[in-house]
Amino acid sequence: MKPGERMPRQSEPMEKTKVIVGLGSCGIAAGAGKTYEKIRQLRESEGLDFELKKTSCVGMCYREPLVEVIDESGTYLYGEIDEARAIELIDKHIVNKEPVRELVVQSDLFDTPDQEFLGSQVKIALRNCGYIDPESIEEYESRQGYASIRKIAEDGISREQVIRTVLDSGLRGRGGGGFPTGLKWRFAFNAVSPEKYIICNADEGDPGAFMDRSLLEGDPHSVLEGMIIGAYAIGATGGVIYCRAEYPLAIKRLRIALNQARAKGYLGQDILGLPGFHFDIYIKEGAGAFVCGEETALIASVEGERGMPRKRPPFPAEAGLWGKPTNINNVETWANIPWIISHGPEAYARYGTEKSKGTKVFALAGKIKRSGLVEVPMGITLRDVIFKLGGGIQKDRKFKAVQMGGPSGGCIPEHLADTIVDYDSVNATGAIMGSGGMVVMDETTCMVDVAKFFLDFTQKESCGKCTFCRIGTKRMLEILIRITEGQGREGDIEKLEVLAQEIKNNSLCGLGQTAPNPVLTTLRYFRDEYEAHIRDKKCPAKVCKQLLTYTIDPEKCTGCMVCAKKCPVQCISGERKQVHFIDQEACIACGECFSRCRFDAVIVN
């Protein structure tokens, strides 16, 4: 059975039927809170005998709200269960013992159209998400939680042995650059200081941060246990979880988990009898600055300073938080650690490629049928992630590109869809792995507009310390805006390329060094779209409004006059039941006529 494989969930005889509602942020936003309350009311009002429980995100966000029913016949995961469907579910499945098969998205008894989404995954970091109540340390312990740190204490495993295990697993940092985790720990271990720190970076501001939030909401104890093991390995005396304040549910569940861990002796003095191992963790709420995903800017923010990167060396392993040796890893990296210690480095290293071991969590978003969280082994192709797990492109349109690595990532075109997911292969395309954002685009996406969108974000998030990042990205953005507004000039492409390289080569931190990636990759793979915008004043994807021309097809126009009434500049003329015309000189290309026409008579060129 694959690690974290969802089925079978229950192998022992059932004492009582369980009904479990997913209450992660995505589920709550979709109405899961109301679904839970409706089920609770039905149980009380009808005197039904079943156990009602809470869990977090399963990853199947496109099917929220999710409700799982486990009874003696098997396991049934139901999707899109609103209050009305909750009544139907309780009446048919719980009262009459008849599963509502048409609402089941996954079961251990029969196949479903959604089966491939969860069945194709290998869950290590996400092994407990959707299985346990994240506010119960007992449920975490029931799935081998805290067994790894207990194993270290009971077997007398040395700090060096722990670091060796992590090195042998091949785990690389899951937050950006993919630096070997064990090597990073060894640097901090070798630093001589009576005071050391570890930090969990839970503040990355790209689509992959959805993964961080979901892990903290769904399995906070796995992150804490990973940090405790890391603290033991390097000799840390204090830990910090740096989490953006915009994640209130994650912070709430982290606080609960911290208090539970302290009460059980996993945090505090002489942890589990390990002599001299005194360690505790506190939460630092960040303001959501993207630059604080960079470790030295994060450290500055924790210290109460403005989040701005510092020159390196010295690196944080030598002089980090408060000038002391510090190790920083992100949420996903920490969540992998207990599994590696428990199962051994070989078990982890058997997944992946030669240089990229294990699994990787991705947040699938954009023009894809099945959006959500997936955890896949390194070495899988992008095509399999998008079409096998993600179900392909919405409305069966043509796949155009996938943007990887968050706002500082790059766009990988369709002809490179067989690129395998590992650090070296993804970097070779001009994109980056980042913390796991994967935004899928179709034929209706304008790549110049995409580059502008992401550069606008990184330009605004620049801390301003470096001239090239502060001013260079602003100049690039100005050029992109001109191009998308029909004011592009010959030489603009070359200017963008020169500016991009100067920014990459001369910026101090990763934000500036990677900010031009969306522009460079779209220029590399979609140069013809830039040329069409500049030379032909056309947007091939028909996205950039000021480059569009609207006309009316006389064969389809019914003369209903809706377009003329809704036109904000009254540039459409024509009598009722007669063909209408658009005055091109007066038209402002707002697209109102196109969106209002019910007969597809308005044509966009």
Residue 529 located in a structural domain: yes
Comparing 8-17, 249-258, 298-307, the range with the smallest average pLDDT is 8-17
Residue 11 located in a structural domain: no
Distance CA(352)–CA(23), nearest Å, equals 32
Whether residue 411 is found in the same domain as residue 318:
no
Residue 124 located in a structural domain: no
For residue 5, the model assigns a pLDDT of 46
Domain count, the chain: 5
Comparing 72-76, 244-248, 321-325, 494-498, the range with the smallest average pLDDT is 244-248
Residue 127 located in a structural domain: no
For residue 207, the model assigns a pLDDT of 47
For residue 210, the model assigns a pLDDT of 73
Whether residue 165 is found in the same domain as residue 281:
yes
For residue 281, the model assigns a pLDDT of 98
Residue 181 located in a structural domain: yes
Whether residue 163 is found in the same domain as residue 284:
yes
- 369: domain CATH number is 3.10.20.600
Phi-psi category of residue 579: left, alpha or beta, with phi > 0 → left and psi -120 to 50 → alpha: beta
For residue 586, the model assigns a pLDDT of 93
* Sheet strands (E) in 316-408: 326-330, 359-366, 372-377, 399-404
Comparing 63-72, 130-139, 316-325, 585-594, the range with the smallest average pLDDT is 585-594
Please state the pTM of the whole predicted model. Answer: 0.92
Are 373 and 209 spatial neighbours (Cβ–Cβ below 8 Å)? no
Structural domain boundaries enclosing 580 = 548-604
Determine the average pLDDT of the residues in 307-320. Answer: 93
The mean pLDDT of the chain is 93
More confident residue, 9 or 376: 376
More confident residue, 246 or 326: 326
For residue 90, the model assigns a pLDDT of 97
For residue 205, the model assigns a pLDDT of 55
- 161: domain CATH number is 3.40.50.11540
Question: What digits encode the pLDDT tens for the residues 514-529?
Answer: 999 999 999 999 999 9
Question: What digits encode the pLDDT tens for the residues 169-216?
Answer: 999 999 777 899 999 999 999 999 999 999 999 976 554 467 789 999
Question: What digits encode the pLDDT tens for the residues 41-69?
Answer: 999 999 999 999 999 989 999 999 999 99
- Residue 595: φ, ψ to 5°: -75, -25
Determine the average pLDDT of the residues in 98-125. Answer: 92
* Cis-peptide, bond into residue 180, ω within 30° of zero: no
Residue 519 DSSP one-character state:
H
- 75: domain CATH number is 3.40.30.10
Whether residue 298 is found in the same domain as residue 411:
no
- 463: domain CATH number is 1.20.1440.230
Q: Does the pLDDT at position 12 exceed 50?
A: no
For residue 438, the model assigns a pLDDT of 94
Distance CA(566)–CA(309), nearest Å, equals 51
Whether residue 393 is found in the same domain as residue 473:
no
- Domain stop point among 312, 347, 382: 347
Whether residue 282 is found in the same domain as residue 329:
yes
Whose tokens are 């989404």? That residue is 117
Whether residue 241 is found in the same domain as residue 297:
yes
Whether residue 427 is found in the same domain as residue 482:
no
Q: Which residues of 572-600 are buried (b: 16+ CB within 10 A; e: fewer)?
A: bebeeeeebebeeeebebbebbbeebeee
Whether residue 240 is found in the same domain as residue 281:
yes
Residue 351 DSSP one-character state:
S
Question: What digits encode the pLDDT tens for the residues 389-448?
Answer: 999 999 999 999 999 988 889 999 999 999 999 999 999 999 998 878 899 999 999 999
Residue 13 located in a structural domain: no
Q: How confident is the model at residue 561 (pLDDT cuts 50, 70, 90)?
A: very high
* Cis-peptide, bond into residue 325, ω within 30° of zero: no
Query: 397: exposed, middle or buried (C-beta count within 10 Å: 0-12, 13-18, 19+)?
Result: middle
Q: Does the pLDDT at position 259 exceed 60?
A: yes
For residue 10, the model assigns a pLDDT of 44
Whether residue 195 is found in the same domain as residue 283:
yes
Whether residue 197 is found in the same domain as residue 315:
yes
Determine the average pLDDT of the residues in 323-329. Answer: 97
Question: What digits encode the pLDDT tens for the residues 457-466?
Answer: 999 999 999 9
- Domain stop point among 119, 148, 172: 119
Q: How confident is the model at residue 119 (pLDDT cuts 50, 70, 90)?
A: confident
Determine the average pLDDT of the residues in 570-596. Answer: 92
- Domain stop point among 536, 570, 591: 536
Residue 149 located in a structural domain: yes
Q: Which strands, in side-by-side order, build the sheet including 372-377? A: 372-377, 359-366, 437-442, 399-404, 410-413
Whether residue 202 is found in the same domain as residue 301:
yes
Residue 381 DSSP one-character state:
B
Q: Does the pLDDT at position 11 exceed 80?
A: no
- 584: domain CATH number is 3.30.70.20
For residue 287, the model assigns a pLDDT of 84
- Closest listed residue to residue 454, CA positions, set 420, 425, 431, 429: 431
For residue 13, the model assigns a pLDDT of 53
Residue 338 located in a structural domain: yes
Distance CA(602)–CA(581), nearest Å, equals 10
